[in-house]
Structure 1
Amino acid sequence: MTHVSVRRGLLYVSIAATAWGTGGAAGALLHQTGGLGPVAVSFWRFAAGAAVLLLARLLFGLGAPRHAEPLTNVQPARHTRRDPALSGSRHAGPRPVLRRARLAWRGSMLGRVLVTGVAMAVYQTAYFAAIAESGLAVATVVTIGATPVLVAAGGRLLLGERLSPAGLGAVAIALTGLAMLTLGDGSAAFSAAGVGWALLSAAGYAGVTLFNRASADEPYATATGGFVVGGLCLLPVAPAQGLLPSGDPLVSWAVVVYLGTVPTALAYGLFFTGLVAVRATTAAVISLVEPVGAAILGILLLGERLTPAAACGSVLLLGAVALLALKERGQVATPV
């Protein structure tokens, strides 16, 4: 298990959310320059992310199982009589314990990466379906807004995490800020199908957050396996939208590399690592800064403007995230 302090966990989740904010712009650029549909973009995002983390594992050992850790608190067994569990040995010794640790790690990792990968594929595809039905604004506010609510409910029921009135107030302020930021131009168009797809996407994202919050596995290994499984889930559908990018290959593949490296491999690896130390609800609320980062990129790179309502929403959202992060640091042993 990776040991991370609360302060560092908050930093990791914040960096991940900021990096995710650049993913939308990179995906849109890949669509424009490479002519790829949203499912194909998601496929290449997973494929490139898995390749980057696998390369990092080969070069730096990132995400490799740490077999020695389960043995640090294990005292040598002292048996005065034959123990059937030791297959005829009088002393357990390191080998049987090491073998059990390896088998347990492999078993837990296999199930975890399968669930994580399928959930990733579901919420990515559902999010794009929500965009197609209701537009980007509604899809974003419902998906990202519903996630901390679902995570808070799931964290209370499944993980025993509790929010104080101050924590609940911070979540409410963050959701208000998100709505003002995303729907500030008044151009939203609701549809039942779009909202349904967005809620499915939020449920998938919340499931990934809760599932990996309860994990003791190596986060980068989980992310790598999740990308592989997610990519395999999307592969049968992606060719229908054109699997290979067209246009300038240098530009298209450079965007694929960036998309796989920063908002995918780096962001998810840091997010899963941060979940070791940070409450699931806090991590989900911090992730709400993603549209703020996207809005800043739109202003700096695309010449977009924020409406007064959107600007106020950004301030509210960032303030709520800062408040919840401070409460997390100050009350590590008590409810937020």
Structure 2
Amino acid sequence: MGGSADILVAACLWGTTGTVRTFVDGASNVSIAAARIVLGGGLLLVLAVFTARAGLRALLAVRRNWALVGLGALAIAVYQGAFFIAVARTGVAIGTVVTIGSAPAFAGLIGVITRQAALSRRWLAATAGAVTGCALLVGGGESAGADPVGVALALLSGLSYAVYATLAAALIGRGESDRAVVAALFGAAAAVMAPVLVLSGTAWMVSASGALIILYLGGVTTAGGYMLFARGLRTTPATTATTLTLAEPAVAAVLGVLVLGEHLGGPAVAGLGLVAVSLIVLIAPARR
């Protein structure tokens, strides 16, 4: 499976964050998101300094890369911030579906505009199926009101994530070190999010449980997850990668049942199956 396997493992790691989040007391979602980016970005920079120093120097030695790194870091920060505000305004179900579901569509549109990728019929079918499955899975078939501003912010979040994935894929596709690219992007994003972390409060990180949880969220799901995602982008187009990350809500739903004792209704179970089938269709080898 090559790069697809790396991206699916990264999506599975990201899918654990919601369950782990439930064990954190006294912390806002914004504070947790900022802490993840700051710690994860710092760890990625340290790792790159020790294992990909030459690649990091080569990446930053090209002045035209500075704008791409800055734009990618801004996209990461906007993705996090817009998502949490969207969820607060329009609810978890709608905010999550619109953000996760719109990202592959935006990535495909960006790929066509920049001529980095052509959209195959397989990609279109798999993406449509996976997005529909996510809607059934996260929404559970329940009707809910949608706040227009919240939906707009969720779309901005999905677009920002697609921009990050496209920029990372473009830099890696030029021959830049994947470790250097992800370190530069998240290191810059950490600098942007550091003031947000300070303003949102850090008291929850002082306890033993809080420290362990943020180490997992920042070290494993952020630093480890995005390192795998970057490695997968060596051989996987950004359009395919963003569709594969739709496995994240499926993993979150399964953990909700197994760990938190949540119940999945019929539509959600159908959505889970549809996501699984769609991703299998996307990564299955093409017949000659």
TM-score by length of 1: 0.78
Residue matched to 2:200: 241
Residue matched to 1:262: 220
Residue matched to 2:160: 204
Q: Which has the larger helix fraction?
A: 2
Residue matched to 2:28: 37
Deviations 1:105-145 (A, max 9, x none): 45355333322211101000000001100111101100000
Deviations 1:283-312 (A, max 9, x none): 111000100011111111100111110011
The alignment status of 1:9 with 2:3, answered yes or no, reads: yes
Residue matched to 2:38: 47
Q: What code does the residue aligned with 2:107 have?
A: V
The answer on whether the counterparts of 2:59 and 2:180 sit within 8 Å (CA) in structure 1 is no
Structure 2: tracts of 5 or more residues without a match? none
- Cα 1:164–1:223 change in 2 (3 A) is closer
Residue matched to 1:278: 236
Q: What code does the residue aligned with 2:254 have?
A: I
Regions of 4+ moved over 6 Å: none
Deviations 1:148-196 (A, max 9, x none): 1111111112134122333312211111111111111405331101101
The answer on whether the counterparts of 2:85 and 2:150 sit within 8 Å (CA) in structure 1 is yes
The alignment status of 1:229 with 2:188, answered yes or no, reads: yes
Mapped partners of 1:102, 1:291: distance in 2:
36
SS where residue 51 of structure 2 aligns? coil
Mapped partners of 2:208, 2:133: distance in 1:
39
The answer on whether the counterparts of 1:45 and 1:256 sit within 8 Å (CA) in structure 2 is yes
Deviations 1:264-283 (A, max 9, x none): 00111111121121122111
The alignment status of 1:124 with 2:113, answered yes or no, reads: no
SS where residue 53 of structure 2 aligns? coil
Seq. identity, %:
32
Mapped partners of 1:112, 1:262: distance in 2:
25
Structure 1: tracts of 5 or more residues without a match? 1-6, 68-100
Deviations 1:70-95 (A, max 9, x none): xxxxxxxxxxxxxxxxxxxxxxxxxx
Mapped partners of 1:229, 1:54: distance in 2:
10
Q: What code does the residue aligned with 2:39 have?
A: A
Q: How does 1:26-105 map to 2 (within 5 A)?
A: 26-30=20-24, 33=25, 35-57=26-48, 61-66=50-55, 102=58, 105=61
The alignment status of 1:22 with 2:16, answered yes or no, reads: yes
Please provide the CA RMSD for this pair: 2.3
- Cα 1:159–1:212 change in 2 (3 A) is farther
